Amino acid sequence: MNRGHGSGLARRFLAAELLVVAVSLLAAVAVAVVAGPPIFQAHLLMAGSSEGSAELIHAMRAYREANLIVWAVALGTALVCASLVSAWCSRRIRRSLDRLGAAALDMAAGHYDTRVPPLGAGAEVDAVAGAFNTMATRLEHTEDTRRQMLSDLAHELRTPVSVLTVYVDALTDGVISWDDEAGELMSGQLRRLGRLIEDISDVSRAQEGHLVLDRTELAVNELLAEAAETHHEAYTAKGVTLQVDPGNTGTVTVDRHRLGQVLGHLLTNALRHTPPGGTVTLRATAPRPGRLAVTVVDTGEGIAPEHLPQIFERFYRGDTARDRDQGGAGIGLAIARALVEAHGGTMVAASTGPGHGAAFTVDLPRQPRPVEDTAGRIATRHPDTLRGHAP
C-alpha cells in the first residue's frame, strides 16, 4: 500500500474525530449559552446580589469570558488530541495493511510460501491475516498438487506414447509388418491413454463440483450383485473368491452409474492386491439411521500405516513399479472418493499392516440433501429432467 493511501486513511480518521469533537463542543456551547447564564444569575441573586447591580454585571461578564477561554482551550486540546490519535491509529493500521499488501503481491508473484505474522492491530486485522494465511496454505498445497500431478501425468503418458512411437516408426521403416499382434498392442496402448484421460476428467469434475448426479432409488442388494457380476470373470481368472453380503439394508438413492464406478474401482483395487486363493468380500450394513455403509474387505497385501493417509491422492502408489506393471495409474481411489463425496458421503481405508489385508468403507446418506444447482456445486436433479443428457 502506498503512502497516498496511508495519508488518505489518516485524513479520514482525523475527519471522523473532528466531527465528533465539533458535535460535542456544539452541544457544550449550546448548554453553556442557553442554560448556563440563567442558572448562574439565579444563584447570584439567591446569594444576595441585587438585580442590575455592578457586582452582578461583572460576575456575568466574567462567566461569559471564562466560558470563551474554556471553549478555546478545549477546542485546541481536542484538535491536538484528535490529530495525534488519528495519526497513531492510521500509522498502526497502515503498517498492517502495508504488510498484507506486500504479502499479497508476493503471492501474486507465485511465492505461495508467504505468510503474515500476527499484526497486533486489533482482532479484526488479525482475523484478516489469519484468513490470508489459510488461503496461502491452501494455494501452496494446490500448487504442490498441481506440480506433482503434472509430473506423474507426464510419467504415465510416457510409456504408451513411447510404445506407439516405436511401433509407428518400425512400421514406417518396414522393420515390422502390420499383423494382429501389432494391432492389439497398439490398440491396448490407445485404450490405456483413453482410460487415463477419462479418469482424470472424472476426478477433476467430481472434485471441482461439476458433476450432475442422476439419482434414483435402488435396492442395495441389486447394486452389489451388479458390481460382483461385472467383475466375476476377472476374479475367477485370477482364482480369487468374491463374496457378496448385502445384508438387510433396503434401498438407497444414488446415481447408479457413478456408484457402480466407485464399487468397480474398489473391487479392481482389491483384486489387484489379493493373491490367488485369497478372498474379497463386498458387504453392506446400516451403521445408523439414514446411512448406508458399503465395505470392500480383502485378504491381500495390506497397507503400511505410513501409506494410509495418501492412498486417495491422485497418482499416489505405495509401490510404484508394482502398480504400474499391473496396469494401475494410481488414480482409481481418487476417483472413487471424489464420486462418493459428490453423493454427500465419505470413504475411509483401514489396514493393520502389510500382509493383513485392507478394508475400504463407503458411508452414504440414503437420501440426498437438497443442493442448489449453481456453478461450482454438485447438482442433484430428478431423472425426468435429465433425459437426453449424459450424467
What is the Cβ-side half-sphere exposure of residue 376, based on CA atoms within 13 angstroms?
Answer: 0
- Give the pLDDT of residue 50: 67
Rg for the chain (alpha carbons), in Å?
Answer: 38
Task: Show which of 94, 111, 128 is a domain's final residue.
Answer: 111
Q: Which domain holds residue 99?
A: 3-111
Residue 131 belongs to some domain of the structure: no
Same domain, residue pair 97 and 233: no
Same domain, residue pair 232 and 376: yes
Can you tell me the distance from the alpha carbon of 170 to that of 132, in angstroms, rounded to the nearest whole number? 56
- Give the pLDDT of residue 1: 44
Residue 183 belongs to some domain of the structure: no
Can you tell me the distance from the alpha carbon of 154 to that of 88, in angstroms, rounded to the nearest whole number? 55
Can you tell me the distance from the alpha carbon of 159 to that of 181, in angstroms, rounded to the nearest whole number? 18
Main-chain dihedrals φ then ψ at residue 354, nearest 5 degrees: -55, 135
Task: Show which of 111, 140, 161 is a domain's final residue.
Answer: 111
Q: Determine the residue type at 131.
A: A
Asked if 94 and 86 count as a contact pair (C-beta separation under 8 A), the reply is: no
**CATH number, position 217:** 3.30.565.10
- Give the pLDDT of residue 214: 86
Q: Residue 295's CB: how many other CB atoms inside 10 A?
A: 18
Per-residue b/e over 84-115, b at no fewer than 16 CB within 10 Å? Answer: eebeebbeebbebbebbeebbebbeeeebebe
Split into its structural domains, the chain has a count of 2
Same domain, residue pair 226 and 100: no
The torsion angle over the Cα atoms of residues 313, 266, 164 and 322, rounded to 10 degrees, is 70
pLDDT truncated to tens, each residue of the chain (391 aa)? 444 444 555 566 667 767 777 777 777 777 767 766 777 667 667 776 767 677 777 777 777 777 778 777 777 787 777 777 777 777 777 777 777 778 888 878 878 788 887 776 667 777 888 888 888 888 887 777 677 667 767 766 777 788 888 888 888 888 888 888 878 888 888 887 887 777 677 666 666 666 678 899 999 999 999 999 989 999 999 999 999 998 888 899 999 988 998 998 899 989 999 999 999 999 999 988 999 999 999 999 888 888 887 777 755 555 443 344 444 445 778 888 888 988 889 999 999 888 889 999 999 999 886 544 433 344 443 333 333 333 3
The residues near 67 (Cβ < 8 Å, ≥ 6 apart) are 32, 33, 36
Can you tell me the distance from the alpha carbon of 130 to that of 118, in angstroms, rounded to the nearest whole number? 8
Same domain, residue pair 220 and 102: no
- Give the pLDDT of residue 359: 94
- Give the pLDDT of residue 217: 93
Cα Dmax for the chain = 134
Task: Show which of 111, 131, 147 is a domain's final residue.
Answer: 111
Residue 149 belongs to some domain of the structure: no
